[in-house]
Amino acid sequence: MTATLTDRYIAATVRSLPADLQTEVADELRASVGDAVDARIESGEPIEHAERAVLTELGDPAALAAGYADRPLHLIGPKYYLTWWRLLKILLAIVPACAFGGVAIAQALTGAGIGEIIGEAIVVALSVIVHVSFWATLVFFVLERTGADTGTTWSLDQLPEDPHDGPGRADLIGSLIMLALFAGALLWDQLRGWTPSGGAPLSILNPELWPWGIGALLAVLVAEAALAVAIFGRGHWTPTFAWLNAALAAVVMVLALTALAQGTLYNPRFVDEVFLSNGVGDDAVIVLAVLSGIAIVGITLWDAIDGWRKASRARNAR
């Protein structure tokens, strides 16, 4: 006897179900399909069209079977999605950067060129991003399928700040104080110095950067202060402010990295007396240069990204 469409549909539905459910589901489906087909026939629809229409409305047999078996048809459902997403963002913000820095230091210690250092570090960082994303997702996939409890619960303390609150007076004062402290530290380093050296102060940054290099950096700090005042006066960040902030961050990064690459960022006497004269090898100086480069790039990029994030948040709040 040739199987009908209904027979084929029911067989496709129950074949992936546990054995103790197959008979029950098959009987229930057969009865419901039969009732729906009879209703369509009574309304004047041909039996062939009625059966096909009813089965089409039921949809994919695999999806229907998943509903009977209470199996999720998503990789990570709403129960774990937010926890997975928050953890993944934290891991991606920390682990690839640490891998990048570690590889850069290792390559520098082997005497690799700047291009090889950056290229190898980027390859490893990208590989780490892939692995972190895969393994974090796999863990939550297993939790989703096993029904395990992560023990995380939401609380009011996790509420974000009010997005309608623009930059306040406290933010402006804090920004100006930080800029003033940084400018003061630069001037103190160049004019007074920090580390005792035979009774005479010793600057950390190269004295040859004064006045033009340090002056350019001080000018950028003044521009940063003016930008903070302008943002406070406007009441919120705008794309224009974000562009200006990114441009200032780029200027700082270019100035600092250029001096670092040319070996003129740190005072040679400082490096000699603090590192080399105390038995520290050239490897430590290389590590210092690599870490300085990573810090410069990381801080300036974060400053630029933070400006765009605030501008986007202000736009969405309006």
- Between the CA of residue 8 and those of 4, 41, 54, what are the distances in Å? 6, 21, 14
Q: Label residue 1 by pLDDT band (50, 70, 90).
A: very low
List helix spans (H) across 192-238: 212-234
What's the average model confidence in pLDDT over 77-92?
81
Smallest CA-to-CA distance from 78 within 20, 154, 180 is with 154
- Cβ-count burial of 293 within 10 angstroms (0-12 exposed, 13-18 middle, 19+ buried)? buried
Q: Label residue 246 by pLDDT band (50, 70, 90).
A: very high
Share of the chain above pLDDT 70, in %: 80
**φ/ψ of residue 50, rounded to 5:** -65, -45
pLDDT attached to residue 110:
64
Smallest CA-to-CA distance from 105 within 308, 286, 296 is with 286
pLDDT attached to residue 188:
85
The token pair at 242 is: 């974000």
What's the average model confidence in pLDDT over 134-150?
77
To which residue do tokens 């630029």 refer?
304
- Which of 56-65, 116-125, 270-279 shows the lowest per-residue confidence on average (mean pLDDT)? 270-279
Q: Label residue 159 by pLDDT band (50, 70, 90).
A: very low
pLDDT at 95 over 90: no
pLDDT at 156 over 50: no
- Residues recorded for the chain: 318
Q: Label residue 195 by pLDDT band (50, 70, 90).
A: low
